[in-house]
Amino acid sequence: MNRRFDDKRRGPADKPRGNFRDRGSDRPVKSDRPRSGRPVIYGFHAVVEALKNPRRKALALYVTENALKKLLEELPDLPVVPNMAKPDEIDRITGPDAVHQGIVLEADGLPAADLHDLSGKGVVVVLDQVTDPHNVGAILRTAAAFAVEAIIVTERNSPDAVGVLAKAASGGLEHVSVIEVVNLAQTLTLLGEKGYWRVGLDSEGPDVLAHSLAKPPIALVLGAEGKGLRRLTRERCDVLARLDMPGAIKSLNVSNAAAIALATVTGAIAAG
């Protein structure tokens, strides 16, 4: 029940999100959209999981001969007729720097998810202005591995759930709901009213994460690197906690921190 991370209320003075061709230049710029304007998913695992997802409508599949052989071993009955392409042809769709592994899928976005769809029983991850698509994708992949029910992001300052993000998620995008919200502080208030124990991850938190958990449902809140959690976000958390790291380095990349935190939360839940 994912949706693309578009900001629908972009003002006329705002720059369009993503990359585009400067009208004053003939130099192409990398984009996550082909000439058709439709979003793309590339990378073997990301495309396979998208093709397996009955909620994902596949529109066009471009694949090299070698990648097709591997794809058919994984998925003999393709939901869309593949278009054979050379690597440089796929480069023109994804951009020359994309690690596409000889396969790219044009597909519609997933149906929108909503806070009311949450079961109120498991774990959700809340991202406070985490903007790097590699980080968000990596968090999605980890979230899928730990059976996280949903990731909550703001409509503004969040990357599109295609291209680089989908590749980094390695199929996780198809298994974890992504919920867009307008106001994160209000959302955290609502989660509290629904019974979620809201844990803000903070490198200077007063206690370690393992000692700061309650019974599910749990909302794990992570902030952007450098900036961390915003003031209103911190105020809406039930507790601020840090990872137990005895070494000299006390902070991690947000996707690495998410992986360790989710392992800690999952272990605590399993232990009762």
| Residue 162, pLDDT score | 63
Q: What is the largest CA-CA distance in the chain?
A: 61
Hey, which of 47-56, 154-163, 191-200, 238-247 has the most confident mean pLDDT? 191-200
pLDDT of 48 higher than 90: yes
In which band, very low, low, confident or very high, does the pLDDT at 40 lie, cut at 50, 70 and 90?
Answer: confident
pLDDT of 115 higher than 80: yes
Whole-angstrom CA distances from 249 to 106, 222, 240, 242, 253 are: 42, 18, 19, 13, 11
pLDDT of 166 higher than 50: yes
Q: How confident is the model over 103-113, as pLDDT tens digits?
A: 999 988 888 88
pTM: 0.78
pLDDT of 171 higher than 60: yes
| Residue 212, pLDDT score | 94
The radius of gyration of the chain's CA atoms, rounded to the nearest angstrom, is 20
In which band, very low, low, confident or very high, does the pLDDT at 6 lie, cut at 50, 70 and 90?
Answer: very low
Q: How confident is the model over 227-261, as pLDDT tens digits?
A: 789 999 999 999 999 998 888 887 789 999 999 99
DSSP-based three-state secondary structure for 181? strand
Query: Which domains, ranges and CATH numbers included, belong to the chain?
Result: 40-107 (3.30.1330.30), 115-271 (3.40.1280.10)
Rounded to 5 degrees, φ, ψ at 17 are -70, 150
| Residue 161, pLDDT score | 65
User: Which range among 36-40, 55-59, 122-126, 236-240 shows the weakest confidence by mean pLDDT?
Assistant: 36-40
Pull the structure tokens for residue 217: 């449902």
pLDDT of 3 higher than 70: no
As a whole number, the mean pLDDT across the chain is 82
| Residue 213, pLDDT score | 93
| Residues above pLDDT 70, as percent of the chain | 84
Torsion of CA 52, 54, 59, 62, to 10 degrees: 0
CA 205 to CA 222: how far, in whole Å? Answer: 12
Starting at the edge strand found earlier in the chain, the sheet holding 123-128 runs 177-181, 150-154, 123-128, 218-223, 197-201, 239-242, 207-208
| Residue 27, pLDDT score | 31
| Residue 5, pLDDT score | 31
**Better pLDDT: 47 or 1:** 47
**Better pLDDT: 31 or 92:** 92
